[in-house]
Copies of this chain bind each other. A is one copy, B any other.
Amino acid sequence: MMLAEATLARLREHMADSPFDALVLGVPENVGYATGYRSVAGDIFSSHRMAAVVTADDVAVAAPAADAGAISEHPVRLEAYGRFFFEGPDGSHPAVSAADQHPDFGSALRAACSSVSGIVGVDGAVLPGSDAASALPDPDRVADAGAWMARVRSVKLPGEVELLGAAAHLAEKGIEAAIDGAAPGATERDLARIVASTMTNGGGMPRFVVVTSGERSALSDSRATERMLRPGDLVRLDVGCTVDGYWSDVGRTAVVGAPDRLQNDRYAAILAGEEAQLEVFRAGVTGGHLFDVAVAAVEAGGIKPYRRHHCGHGIGSSVYEPPSVAPAGADHVLAAGMVLCLETPYYEIGWGGMMVEDTLVVTTDGYDLLTHIDRGMRVIPA
């Protein structure tokens, strides 16, 4: 079975046990879950609007006419808006008849909702108040399904785990290659290029390649620059790519030459934080508990107070998704099949930053790691 069929089937199983008779989904990752369709244009135009309407026996998509060709490969009913011309002898082909079918997104969505009845669950991208509101039924029949969709998506199917594993593997392979290729005089950009090329060579799409060094390693999400590596530098790598729309997010830290005492001690503290999480990680544990365990271990290691807003997050077709390993995740209970990133970064302006971040699948009695490279502080020969 294709992954898209499996995710749609999973979605309908959950719908059967939910208050929702229909779903109207505008968040691109939710559209992808319901249909398998991920828009190329949606990746590059912030104004791109699309929605999937799911009932027990119908899937309709409201999308720009320019998407009609690509959508025609998916088993969905298309309601297109705007102008884009596909020619063809067969006027009944959904792409050939897409141009000017509807004048705007709201009209297309109204047509896509034609078979909808009962209670309609909608996500944040189509919540009343937006231009889609007029396409929806009366407000008393509309309910927020955003958090519900996130919960459905949080437990991954085997095909999803496979893609997340492939993406994680390319990220860690990129980190290994960059550290192997690093030397004093190499620039942050040189290392970032190695990471990104490792990802593309393996069929991944680089999404963020944060390689920062020296004092810049403290800056969290920053672009790689022409700064050259020098002995004593911390080098922090925090990178991710997508494989067929599924993300990775992996982090490691290196030092140029032998680490000094403070670098060693602090890295030992943050590594102890992640390892403490691994010790208790299993189905049934909450994100809030994992957070507390991480903070306590980092503080016991000597970084005190260790102030973080989170120490991990779910990952899937979006890079951050529930469950949250944070105080806000106190009621996020881990379930078998969820995939999470665990991380314990530390950023000190004027000194530097370090991190370690891994990806793992929740199992009944523990976890399966999707990242396999050495978690220790790496040394780049000076």
Contacts and interface: CB of A to CB of B under 8 A. Distances in A.
Nearest to A69: B219
Interface stretch (A82-90, A108-116, A159-167, A330-338): A82-90
A329 interface: no
The bracket for how many chain A residues form the interface is 35 or more
A196 B207 contact: no
A309 B207 contact: no
Nearest to A222: B70
Contacts of A84: 220, 309
A348 B193 contact: no
A346 B88 CA distance: 11
A39 interface: yes
Contacts of A210: 40
17 contacts: A40-B223, A44-B240, A66-B221, A69-B220, A70-B223, A73-B219, A73-B222, A85-B307, A86-B218, A87-B346, A88-B348, A88-B350, A93-B349, A93-B350, A95-B349, A197-B197, A205-B209
Interface of A: 28, 38-41, 43-46, 66-67, 69-70, 72-73, 83-90, 93, 95-96, 99, 189, 193, 196-197, 199-201, 203, 205-210, 218-223, 240, 307-309, 319-320, 346-351
| Closest A-B pairs by Cβ, 7 of them | A88-B349, A69-B219, A40-B221, A196-B200, A70-B222, A85-B307, A197-B200
